[in-house]
């Protein structure tokens, strides 16, 4: 993950809303079932809210029942990086934007085929770009 300078972090603090900043750079988590992306069904792509890099295709999104937007694979193999998180005592695998290092959520091995993975994301760390160009 790229290391941001203190100046870059301060600039992001000024640009991002507090909710997004807390998720992306303090590894926060939004409450389950609260983000509108849970109900989003249009074609398009989900981008990092910090740096706008495309991360997940809408076609890989599914309702995991977890309360967070979930995907079965990243858009490209190198857009999402992982690291081990021990915050809950048992290890979990955190996911981050490979470009800017923003925390996105976690990945679990209980997703659907063809990958068997569940990339469980915080909607507040994502922007949706619909295929039709509408917001």
CATH of the domain at 57: 2.170.150.20
67 neighbors 38 (Cβ within 8 angstroms): yes
List phi, psi (to 5°) of 42.
Answer: -75, 160
How far apart CA 63 and CA 38 sit, in angstroms, is: 7
Greatest CA span in the chain, whole angstroms? 43
Whether 1 is covered by a domain: the verdict is no
Whether 57 is covered by a domain: the verdict is yes
- pLDDT (tens digit, 9 = 90+) per residue, 66-113? 999 999 999 987 899 999 877 767 788 999 999 999 999 999 999 999
Single out the catalytic residue among 48, 97, 100, 120. 120
Using alpha carbons only, what angle is made at residue 88 by residues 56 and 24, rounded to the nearest 5 degrees? 40
Q: What's the pLDDT at 88?
A: 67
Whether 90 is covered by a domain: the verdict is yes
Which of 112, 131, 121 is closest to 80 using CA atoms? Answer: 121
Once rounded to an integer, what is the mean pLDDT over residues 14-35?
93
Whether 65 is covered by a domain: the verdict is yes
Whether 89 is covered by a domain: the verdict is yes
Whether 72 is covered by a domain: the verdict is yes
More confident residue, 87 or 58: 58
Whether 80 is covered by a domain: the verdict is yes
Total domains in the fold of the chain: 1
28 neighbors 109 (Cβ within 8 angstroms): no
Residue 83 belongs to domain spanning: 6-31+40-130
Integer CA distances (angstroms), 10 to 7, 15, 20, 25, in order? 5, 9, 14, 11
Mean pLDDT of the chain: 91
| Confidence bin at 3 (pLDDT 50/70/90) | low
More confident residue, 4 or 66: 66
Active site residue 120: yes
């Amino acid at each position: 993950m790229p290391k941001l300078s203190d100046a870059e972090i301060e600039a992001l603090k000024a640009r991002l809303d507090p909710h997004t900043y807390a998720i992306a750079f303090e590894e926060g988590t939004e409450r389950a079932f609260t983000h509108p992306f849970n109900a989003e069904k249009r074609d398009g792509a989900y981008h990092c809210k910090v740096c706008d890099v495309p991360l997940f295709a809408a076609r890989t999104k599914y309702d995991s029942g977890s309360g967070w937007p979930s995907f079965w694979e990243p858009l490209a193999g190198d857009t999402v990086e992982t690291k081990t998180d021990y915050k809950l005592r048992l290890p979990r695998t955190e996911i981050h934007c490979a470009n800017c290092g923003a925390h996105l959520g976690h990945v679990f091995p209980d997703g659907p085929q063809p990958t068997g993975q569940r990339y469980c994301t915080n909607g507040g760390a994502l922007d949706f770009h619909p295929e039709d160009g509408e917001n």
